[in-house]
Amino acid sequence: MAGFDNTNRGVMFKSEKKKDTDSDYGGTLNVDGVEYFLNGWIKVAGPNARNPGSKFLSVSISKKSKQPEARSAPSPGLDFGDDDIPF
C-alpha cells in the first residue's frame, strides 16, 4: 500500500487554547514539497467593505524551516598549511 501524498495539500484546525493574539485556526500546508505553517483569524468586515459585517478568514503563511544554504569552498588562493602560529 502506497503512502498518502500530501503534496499541494493543507489542513487547519480550530485553536483550542487561544489567547488574544493567537490565530483562531492553525495548521500546515505543502506547496510543491515545501512545508509551511498556516494560521487563520476570523474577522468581521468593516463598514466600507463590499459586505459590511460579514465574517471572513484572514490567513498568514510561513516556511516551517529555512533550507540550509550551501557553504562555499575555501578560495584556492588561501593556503593555511601546517605553519606554526608564532603566539
Residue 40 lies in a domain: yes
| Beta-bridge partners for 59 | 40
* CA distance linking residue 48 with residue 27, whole number of Å: 31
Total domain count, the chain: 1
pLDDT of residue 21: 85
- Specify whether the CB–CB gap between 25 and 53 falls below 8 A: no
pLDDT of residue 29: 95
Question: Residue 7: which of 37, 36, 34 has the closest Cα?
Answer: 34
* CA distance linking residue 25 with residue 13, whole number of Å: 5
The pLDDT profile of the chain, 87 residues, written as one tens digit per residue, is 567 888 999 999 999 988 888 999 999 999 999 999 999 999 999 999 999 999 999 999 999 986 555 455 555 555 556 666 665
pLDDT of residue 18: 87
Residue 56 lies in a domain: yes
pLDDT of residue 74: 53
pLDDT of residue 35: 95
Residue 80 lies in a domain: no
Residue 69 lies in a domain: no
pLDDT of residue 41: 96
- Specify whether the CB–CB gap between 58 and 43 falls below 8 A: yes
pLDDT of residue 65: 81
Domain, as residue range, for 48: 22-63
